[in-house]
Amino acid sequence: MKARTIYSQSKLVTEQMASGGKWSSIKRVITIVITDEIFVPEGDRYHHQFRHRTKDGIEFTDIVEINTLDLSKLPADDDSTDLWCWMKFIKSDDEEVLDMLATRSPQMRKAVGVLKELSADECTRMLYEKREMARMDFESRVEEARRDGHADVARNMIADGESIEKILRYTNLTREEIEHLRDAD
């Protein structure tokens, strides 16, 4: 599990780098591991944050971070943190506890409401799924329209004799998509 998490993070970082790209363009990669088993046996803390540091504590980079949340170590008593509330939300199936959590913040109230809606009868669940499908379909159509617009820009740049590197900079298309457009004309 730990090796797979580190490999996945490394891949997410390297996929952001274009040839000749700048380190400053890399976005942070944060992994959150939620487990109901003891992931970090040392101590009784339920949240651990790992970053790349030397043995004497000098941080190499903050680009990669792994957070572990151990549900089995969550204290029964509220420690007044938002994290405790969210972990209690994940762990609990008690409606009274969920109602108590819903009073903590608007975000928590919304999460409890969605959970209750999803847990309701079959008809309500089906309505929720239809709304989600409609939302995802809309987002897909918007993305497709955006890609079509980028393709039009790329076609015009190809016709003007611009380099693939320049077209890559001005569109969100991949090299393969640009080459396909160039070869199709």
* pLDDT tens per residue, range 110-127: 999 888 877 777 777 778
Q: Average pLDDT of 60-78? A: 88
Q: Which residue has the higher pLDDT, 44 or 22?
A: 44
Same domain, residue pair 6 and 61? yes
Same domain, residue pair 69 and 93? no
Assess if residue 125 is contained within a domain.
Answer: no
Partners of 49 in the beta sheet? 67
In the DSSP assignment, the letter for residue 48 is E
Domain range for 154 is 130-184
4 has pLDDT over 60: no
Q: Average pLDDT of 132-161? A: 85
Token pair of 77, please? 């008593």
Assess if residue 171 is contained within a domain.
Answer: yes
Q: Which residues of 133-160 are buried (b: 16+ CB within 10 A; e: fewer)?
A: eeeeeeeeeeeeeeeeebbeebbebbee
Assess if residue 106 is contained within a domain.
Answer: yes
Q: Which residue has the higher pLDDT, 18 or 68?
A: 68
182 has pLDDT over 90: no
Q: Average pLDDT of 64-92? A: 90
The three-class DSSP label of residue 50 is strand
Q: Are the beta carbons of 108 and 99 closer than 8 angstroms?
A: no
Give this prediction's pTM: 0.52
Q: Average pLDDT of 85-98? A: 89
CA angle centred on 25, ends 22 and 28, rounded to 5°: 130
The per-residue pLDDT for 6 is: 53
Same domain, residue pair 50 and 33? yes
Q: Average pLDDT of 95-119? A: 87
Share of the chain above pLDDT 70, in %: 90
- Starting at the edge strand found earlier in the chain, the sheet holding 59-70 runs 29-35, 59-70, 47-53
* Chain position carrying tokens 């903590």: 104
Structural domains of the chain, count: 3
Contacts 24+ apart (CB under 8 A), 62-67: 62/28, 63/13, 63/26, 63/28, 63/29, 64/9, 64/10, 64/13, 64/28, 64/29, 65/28, 65/29, 65/30, 65/31, 66/5, 66/6, 66/9, 66/30, 66/31, 66/33, 67/30, 67/31, 67/32, 67/33
Same domain, residue pair 60 and 83? no
133 has pLDDT over 70: yes
Same domain, residue pair 87 and 62? no
Same domain, residue pair 91 and 140? no
Same domain, residue pair 69 and 88? no
108 has pLDDT over 60: yes
Same domain, residue pair 7 and 64? yes
Same domain, residue pair 50 and 96? no
Assess if residue 124 is contained within a domain.
Answer: no
* pLDDT tens per residue, range 7-43: 566 677 777 766 566 767 778 888 888 888 888 888 8
Share of the chain above pLDDT 90, in %: 12
Assess if residue 62 is contained within a domain.
Answer: yes
